[in-house]
Amino acid sequence: MRLATDPPNRVAVLSVHTSPLAQPGTGDAGGMNVYVLQSALHMARRGVEVEIFTRATSSADQPIVRVAPGVLVRNVVAGPFEGLDKYDLPTQLCAFAAGVLRAEATHEPGYYDIVHSHYWLSGQVGWLARDRWAVPLVHTAHTLAAVKNASLADGDAPEPPLRAVGEQQVVDEADRLIVNTEHEAQQLVSHHHADPARIDVVHPGVDLDTFTPGDKRAARAALGLSPDDLILTFVGRIQPLKAPDVLLRAAAKLDGRFPNLRVVVAGGPSGSGLAAPDTLIRLADELGISDRVTFMPPQSRDQLVNVYRAADLVAVPSYSESFGLVAVEAQACGTPVVAAEVGGLPVAVRDGVTGALVPGHDVGDWADAIADLVDRGPDTLRAAAVEHAATFSWAHTVDGLLDSYGRAIGDYRARHHRDTSRRNGRRFSMRRGVRA
């Protein structure tokens, strides 16, 4: 007999709105994609099978993709393959849920031991699957509407009330809630009145075998960048939430002070940035620094290593960030980070040790923070950056996930046993009453 604290044999992971196989840095693909895929791969190495359900976005998507031993992705057909905005996805949750339930129905009852949903849309489906399969639901929000709406970038659209309501429902129904940082746990309690006893803090990891320090000159040569430039880099989705414009404006202020300054932007339009995908290019022209800005498309993991190694500083100026995986990846490559002091970034970056945290998004403050790090010498922070990043591994993440799963399964079975005992007790009392 398996104990309640034993790890699950098989986990159903739900990622409705973005596939773990999508290229991070464009569309809705980002840190969450990396989290879902890497945690699944590392969990499979522990002998836990993982099946990831995501929405098919192309007719060419195979129904089942076996990514690695013990990890498969199920592409569920729900709505049109292309042109469906994330905000329209709630209309397709019924179709997606049907696909998930049908996949489970082809197996014997009890095929999945637990459901782990990512983002509120997946939580809505996970809630249904939990009740249908009689297994616990663990949920990771990644971002919250209330938090994003409290710190909107100029011109960015607020999250709709529908999402806030949906998030509250999932928080109320989930057996356990997994968050990236203590700060995020506090947000769940303050905004959604979550029970602190049901929250587990599990830091995301970084692939420490891929993201490693290396030769800066060689990385620059591979990317066609000058070995003598001062390179400030932004990696991520190009949208107001991620605030790449703050880096460009700060760079323009520093243009006279650092004549060899160059900005590298690696990523593609996303979210509200899709409405005007050339905004950043036009801004560089308006600021008079277009000749100092290099735009790159989203990079594969292997190419991204060179982007980080080539940089003197990596900037993460987001208005909201549940953790900031880019910041840890950059530090793992030995590159210091200047980041906004929001969300989980104070955990990802050690202020004054592996980079700098900037309160707010004032361009003058950002220019000063960048100048201070340049004057100090980014290479002096290199060793500390690598050492700090080494504390975030996917092995540690999976340790935390499996601990949370074990608690969820144990609590669920204990509660189910108590409920069954009460029902049996009531039936026995009723029978005695009839005999009397």
Nearest to 96 by CA among 29, 161, 19: 19
DSSP secondary structure string, 53-64?
EEE--STT--SE
427 marked ligand binding residue: no
Give backbone dihedrals phi and psi of 210, rounded to 5 degrees, phi first.
Answer: -90, -50
| Count of CB atoms situated within 10 Å of the CB of 77 | 16
Tokens of 187: 């947000």
Host H or E run for residue 27: none
Strands, sheet with 293-296, edge to edge from the N-terminal-most edge strand: 293-296, 261-266, 230-235, 313-316, 337-340, 355-358
DSSP secondary structure string, 197-228?
GGEEE----B-TTTS----HHHHHHHHT--TT
356 marked ligand binding residue: no
- Measure the CA–CA gap between 152 and 155, rounded to whole angstroms: 8
252 marked ligand binding residue: no
Long-range contacts of 177-180 (CB under 8 A, 24+ apart): 177/138, 177/139, 177/140, 177/141, 178/116, 178/138, 178/139, 178/140, 178/202, 178/400, 178/401, 178/404, 179/140, 179/141, 179/322, 180/142, 180/204, 180/322, 180/323, 180/344, 180/347
237 marked ligand binding residue: yes
119 marked ligand binding residue: yes
Nearest to 382 by CA among 307, 340, 330: 330
35 marked ligand binding residue: no
303 marked ligand binding residue: no
24 marked ligand binding residue: yes
The three-state secondary structure class of 312 is coil
DSSP secondary structure string, 249-265?
HHHHHHTTT-TTEEEEE
- Measure the CA–CA gap between 198 and 174, rounded to whole angstroms: 9
95 marked ligand binding residue: no
23 marked ligand binding residue: yes
311 marked ligand binding residue: yes
The burial of 366, by beta-carbon neighbours within 10 Å (0-12 exposed, 13-18 middle, 19 or more buried), is given as: buried
- Measure the CA–CA gap between 347 and 339, rounded to whole angstroms: 11
308 marked ligand binding residue: yes
- Measure the CA–CA gap between 308 and 235, rounded to whole angstroms: 9
- Measure the CA–CA gap between 417 and 360, rounded to whole angstroms: 50
412 marked ligand binding residue: no
321 marked ligand binding residue: yes
Residues with Cβ within 8 Å of 61's Cβ and at least 6 positions away in sequence, in order, are 75, 81
Q: Tell me the Cα Rg of the chain.
A: 23
29 marked ligand binding residue: yes
Tokens of 423: 């029902």
329 marked ligand binding residue: yes
Which residues fall in the annotated binding site?
17, 23-24, 28-33, 86, 119, 143, 163, 237, 242, 299, 308-309, 311, 321, 329, 335
Which residues fall in the annotated binding site for Mg(2+)?
308-309, 311, 335
Which residues fall in the annotated binding site for UDP-N-acetyl-alpha-D-glucosamine?
23-24, 31, 237, 242, 299, 321, 329
Which residues fall in the annotated binding site for 1D-myo-inositol 3-phosphate?
17, 28-33, 86, 119, 143, 163
